[in-house]
Structure 1
Amino acid sequence: MKIGFIGYGSMAEALASKWVTKHSLFIGGRNLEKAEKLAKKLGKTVEFGSEAEAASFGEIVVLATRHEAVFEAINAAGGSDALADKVLLDINNPVDKSDFLAKTYDGISLAEEIARVVPNAHVVKAFNMCQAKVWQMNPPVFDDRPFVVMYCGDNNFAKQKIATLIEDVGCEAKDIGDLKYARMLEPAAAIVIKLLLSGHDPYTVLNLIQPELKAI
């Protein structure tokens, strides 16, 4: 698959490092020096450039900015028309660190608001439940159980692509339903963020135990 990242921070680096041997990658952002630095760190096959170039490159576009910058990044990528028919992977958490409550957009999640702004794209929420160090694990395993990555979206074809990427990082993929269930994932992630910022180990996660899979 062709994956364009908009953003070049720790989450982008951790996920891209797991996908670079299996997929074609492009690192995009407003700071070309930072995009180039990450691209070169990942390997000579990785391209870099602007947000618009990342959007044009990717069949999957990863929104790997801070949550406050997501809609600015969408505009920089060319807006709704440029992202039409793309799979948009939202890995963000709109959490107010003053009280650790998840921000909503007139009662809906950030992922749903992205889908409203880019109605012809296929938004999938995933990879938001822990910080970058967990994705750097090879593979992410806790108490001898793989980390279960819950994801949601309204388009089954798009979700199948993201399930493949989840498995590519060594995790188990768990489809929890339509995109509206991002309203549950984002507050759940807020719990983890609150724990992390209160001093918990960076590998703190909420892992879904699936005994039926453990027994196979």
Structure 2
Amino acid sequence: MRIGVLGTGNMADALATHWASAGHHVTIGGRDEAAAARLARRVGGGAASGGLRAAASGDAVLVALPFGAGADVVRELRAELVGRTLVDCSNPVGPGFRLLTEGGPSAARRLADAAPGAHVVKAFNLCHEDVWRMRPPVFGGRPLAVPVCGDDETALARVRTLVRDAGCAPVSGGGLDRAGLLEATAALFIGLWVGEGADAQAIVPPLAHAAGPG
């Protein structure tokens, strides 16, 4: 698969490295093409680099940009992104672990509005980039589960492949209208992890007990 990556930060580095190692053709794109070239060398696996438009030509395009910047960049590239799978991993979380999109569209929906011809999928937003650097992210013998939200089945199939190629297990999170729930979950979990030092995983019972007595 041809994968474009918009951005040169930690999430771009962590995820692109998995995908290049899995044999995908990765192109790193950034406004600073020198930074994109440095990241492509670090990612390895024949990763290429260039400007943002070079990365927008992938079958799947990861938007690894901060909330707010992502929609602006995607709007600039909307012509190139028609028909592409656009993967949103952003978290609209502000000071005090506040959800910045509360009362408005989710971050993923804002990308869809900015590039109406693209097929947006929300994924990879619930973990710190250091988790995505693990090879693979397995805890207690169980691969990390990654919720995926989107409306287009071809786009969802591509993202499920990318999840598996990062060593994780894809989980259906529903349509793109549920992406806001994933973003709210991230805000809650980050507040618990960072603000309280709590183990967020401990608040969820095992599946056998989740729905009460059978």
TM-score range, shorter chain: 0.7 to 0.9
1:15 maps to amino acid: L
User: Hey, what does 1:141 align to over in structure 2?
Assistant: 138
1:31 maps to amino acid: D
Relative to structure 1, the CA distance from residue 179 to residue 26 in structure 2 (aligned partners, 3 Å threshold; closer, same or farther) is: same
User: Hey, what does 2:8 align to over in structure 1?
Assistant: 8
User: Hey, what does 2:71 align to over in structure 1?
Assistant: 71
2:101 counterpart of 1:100? no
What's the CA shift for 1:189? 0.7
2:165 counterpart of 1:168? yes
Cα-to-partner distance string for 1:34-59 (whole Å, 9 max, x where unaligned): 11111011226111111111112x11
The count of residues paired between Structure 1 and Structure 2 equals 205
TM-score (norm 1): 0.87
2:86 counterpart of 1:88? yes
Q: Mapping of 1:148-159 within 5 angstroms?
A: 148-159=145-156
What's the CA shift for 1:28? 0.4
Gapped runs of 5+ residues in structure 1? 212-216
2:14, 2:130 within 8 Å by CA — same for their partners in 1? yes
Percent identity of paired positions between Structure 1 and Structure 2: 38
Relative to structure 1, the CA distance from residue 19 to residue 84 in structure 2 (aligned partners, 3 Å threshold; closer, same or farther) is: same
1:74 maps to amino acid: V
Distance 1:131 1:200 in 2: 15
Gapped runs of 5+ residues in structure 2? 209-214
SS in 2 for 1:92: coil
Distance 1:51 1:199 in 2: 38
Relative to structure 1, the CA distance from residue 114 to residue 25 in structure 2 (aligned partners, 3 Å threshold; closer, same or farther) is: same
2:44 counterpart of 1:46? no
User: Hey, what does 2:28 align to over in structure 1?
Assistant: 27
Distance 1:105 1:120 in 2: 25
Structure 1 consecutive aligned stretches of length 4 or more whose deviation exceeds 4 Å: 204-211
SS in 1 for 2:126: coil
2:107 counterpart of 1:110? yes
SS in 2 for 1:157: helix
1:5, 1:62 within 8 Å by CA — same for their partners in 2? yes
SS in 2 for 1:25: strand
Distance 1:210 1:120 in 2: 38
TM-score (norm 2): 0.88
What's the CA shift for 1:198? 3.0
1:81 maps to amino acid: A
Distance 2:190 2:38 in 1: 28
What's the CA shift for 1:12? 0.7
What's the CA shift for 1:91? 0.4
Distance 1:156 1:94 in 2: 25
Relative to structure 1, the CA distance from residue 36 to residue 205 in structure 2 (aligned partners, 3 Å threshold; closer, same or farther) is: farther
